[in-house]
Amino acid sequence: MIIGVTGGIGSGKSTVARAFGDLGAGWVDADDVAREVVAPGEPALAAITERFGEQVINEDGSLNRAALRQIVFDDPTQRAWLESVTHPRIRERLLAHLERLSATSPYVLLVSPLLFESGQDALVNRTLVVDVPEHEQISRTLARDKVSETQVRAILAAQLPRYERLSRADDVIDNSQGLDFTRQQVSTLDQRYRNSKT
């Protein structure tokens, strides 16, 4: 069984995935795979460089994600182009990772901030939304990523509204009340997923 884990920026998806991992569940993070497909030597990075120039490349040849983020979140056309280049490659690699993990795990997590927006929910049996209030998303992201509040709000605007994400969830974890409370919810869901035949 594949569980799609999603949530808005700063909601704590990785924290939740690690908690499931501590209980023996395998997981793959779409953000990690997204970084893989734009690593030096990858065709997607060559296409990005061709379109946007050296301004989006660091001195070591890696992608300057902050510079690219600034471009694509300011221009929906550029974001759509970037997604057309990266999303098919990400999907292909995700499937390979999920297949490998499913051989050794009682169930597998696909952690993806854009699970619904990218259509990756079609790859999963159940969806789990990690939820916190929007003001908490903003404050956590500002502290973690050292970006402007304008950028954080642009990222939020590009993601599904909170109410819509929640309405599409099979399961929800409230990640606003501390790690112990989150771990209790993870433990309950872990048992449910292990016993599920879906």
Q: Is the pLDDT assigned to residue 198 strictly greater than 70?
A: no
Mean of pLDDT over the chain: 90
Which alpha helices (DSSP H) does 53-133 contain, by range?
65-74, 76-102
**Complete domains list, the chain, with CATH:** 2-35+94-195 (3.40.50.300)
The predicted model gives 75-95 an average pLDDT of 92
Residue 167 marked as a ligand binder = no
The predicted model gives 135-151 an average pLDDT of 77
User: Which residues, 6+ apart, have CB-to-CB distance to 164 below 8 Å?
Assistant: 116
Residue 41 marked as a ligand binder = no
Each residue's pLDDT tens digit, 89-133? 998 999 999 999 998 999 999 999 889 988 899 999 999 999 988
Residue 146 marked as a ligand binder = no
pLDDT band at 11 (very low <50, low <70, confident <90, very high): confident
Residue 15 marked as a ligand binder = yes
pLDDT band at 84 (very low <50, low <70, confident <90, very high): very high
**Cα-Cα end-to-end distance for the chain:** 6
pLDDT band at 47 (very low <50, low <70, confident <90, very high): very high
Residue 14 marked as a ligand binder = yes
Residue 10 marked as a ligand binder = yes
The predicted model gives 39-63 an average pLDDT of 94
C-alpha dihedral (156, 157, 159, 164), degrees to nearest 10: 100
pLDDT at position 137: 78
pLDDT band at 142 (very low <50, low <70, confident <90, very high): confident
